[in-house]
Amino acid sequence: MDNISIRTTQNIDIDYEVASIGDRIGAALLDVLIHVAYFFAYFIFYLITKWDFLFSTTMVVLINLPIIFYHLVFEIYYNGQSFGKRILKIKVIRVDGSEPTLGNYAMRWLFRLIDVLVFTPMVAIITILFNGKGQRLGDLAATTTVVKIKPRISLEDTIYAVLENNYEIVFPQVAMLTDEDLTLVKEVLNARHTFKERNVVYNLYLKLKKVLNVETNMKPIEFLNTVVKDYNAINS
């Protein structure tokens, strides 16, 4: 499975697993089911009412608008996810790690009309398979891709830490840190074996020592784990 490396604002490379072609096709099929159900409901409504104007040119155009703008609206308001993507736990992100803008979503949507509807979905599939970053033409134009969402299934993925009985705080200065700071520390600890740059942990170790204004002979991993424990003890 391909990965995409995203550099965060803290200059740390985090690897995201690119959504597989199966995930993308599965999400697309689920979205198509939503479209089919929508048209089916409309047809049933026509059979019940027998209103001929429901199939007039104006109404046909209006009834197709929700389908035309479906992906654009969903991705904007549901954080890069359509109904199908939400079910399969994949989402749109920018390749630089930031959240997509309205312009990014609009570009993906415009190119969907080209690389999915005009050229047939096979062109999008081939582009995704050979691109290396899971990008169809619309993603290339919008500098986006689609990645798997890592489920938070364990306490290791949170800032929570198990403390020993009668744990004593080592660095009370940790109180000045925020939940966002601790989240970064935990992400570095949990993902340290995947970093391409071996000095990521050491640089964070030096940065925290400077921010907290502490001196210690602890090894970097031991120090970072202690910071996490102290933060939990202070905020418990």
- Model pLDDT for residues 147-204, shown as the tens digit of each residue: 988 654 444 556 667 788 888 899 999 989 888 888 888 888 877 766 555 678 888 8
Euclidean distance between CA atoms 199 and 158, whole angstroms: 23
Residues 162, 144 within the same domain: no
Q: In this structure, are 134 and 231 located in the same domain?
A: no
DSSP state of 17: E
Mark which of 117, 148, 179 sits at the end of a domain: 148
- Do 199 and 164 have their domain in common? yes
Question: For the chain, what is the domain count?
Answer: 2
| pLDDT(135) > 80 | yes
Which of 148, 175, 190 is a domain's end point? 148
Are residues 139 and 163 located together in one domain of the fold?
no
Within 50-166, residue ranges assigned H as helices are 57-68, 70-77, 83-88, 102-112, 121-131, 137-142
User: Residue 29 and residue 152: Cα distance in Å, rounded?
Assistant: 26
Tell me which residue range forms the domain holding 231: 155-235
**Domain-ending residue, one of 148, 164, 198:** 148
The label of the residue with tokens 């190119």 reads 111
With 0-12 / 13-18 / 19 or more C-beta atoms within 10 angstroms meaning exposed / middle / buried, residue 15 is middle
pTM of the model: 0.62
pLDDT at 10: 47
**Pair 33, 113 in one domain:** yes
Give the Cα separation of 117 and 71 in Å (integer).
13
Domain match, 67 and 141 both:
yes
